[in-house]
């Protein structure tokens, strides 16, 4: 089968571009820092998150928590994550939070790794 020079060049460029893609190594979840209470919100603004103790049940991780503004106002919330088995533990990811009173909701990039009862947060 004959391949034109142009087709050969396009194929070679495609193969080289694939070779240039970074290889994503699996994260070392056990090197993540321990989950401390309280901790600063991923949203910033000095909001502190407290009482964050995710528990795994089936294919979800859930917890209630507080979000406290610098001025002292406290909001009561809950969050549910997908529980994904990884490296001998559970990765709580794709978080969906909601105010207990239903007034607000959203998603969070925050992730927690749980193994042997130890909770670690993404750096």
Q: Each residue of 11-68: pLDDT tens digit? A: 333 333 333 334 346 789 999 999 999 999 988 899 999 999 999 999 999 999 999 9
Number of domains forming the structure of the chain: 1
This prediction has a pTM of 0.77
Q: What burial class does residue 17 get, using C-beta atoms within 10 Å of its C-beta: 0-12 exposed, 13-18 middle, 19+ buried?
A: exposed
Q: Each residue of 86-106: pLDDT tens digit? A: 989 999 999 999 999 999 999
Is residue 104 included in any domain, yes or no?
A: yes
Is residue 80 included in any domain, yes or no?
A: yes
Is residue 45 included in any domain, yes or no?
A: yes
Look up the domain containing 73 and give its range.
32-121
Is residue 74 included in any domain, yes or no?
A: yes
Looking at per-residue pLDDT, the higher value among 4 and 84 belongs to 84
Q: What is the pLDDT of residue 43?
A: 87
Is residue 27 included in any domain, yes or no?
A: no
Is residue 13 included in any domain, yes or no?
A: no
pLDDT for residue 9 is more than 50: no
Is residue 87 included in any domain, yes or no?
A: yes
């Amino acid at each position: 089968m004959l391949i034109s020079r142009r087709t050969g060049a396009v194929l070679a460029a495609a193969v080289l571009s694939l070779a240039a893609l970074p290889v994503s190594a699996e994260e070392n979840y056990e090197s993540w820092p321990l989950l401390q209470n309280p901790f600063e919100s991923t949203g910033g603004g000095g909001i502190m998150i407290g009482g964050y103790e995710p528990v795994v049940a089936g294919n979800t991780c859930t917890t209630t928590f507080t979000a406290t503004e610098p001025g002292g106002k406290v909001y009561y919330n809950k969050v549910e994550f997908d529980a994904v088995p990884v490296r001998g533990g559970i990765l709580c990811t794709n978080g969906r939070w909601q105010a207990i009173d239903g007034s607000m909701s959203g998603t969070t990039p925050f992730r927690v790794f749980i193994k042997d009862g130890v909770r670690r947060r993404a750096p």
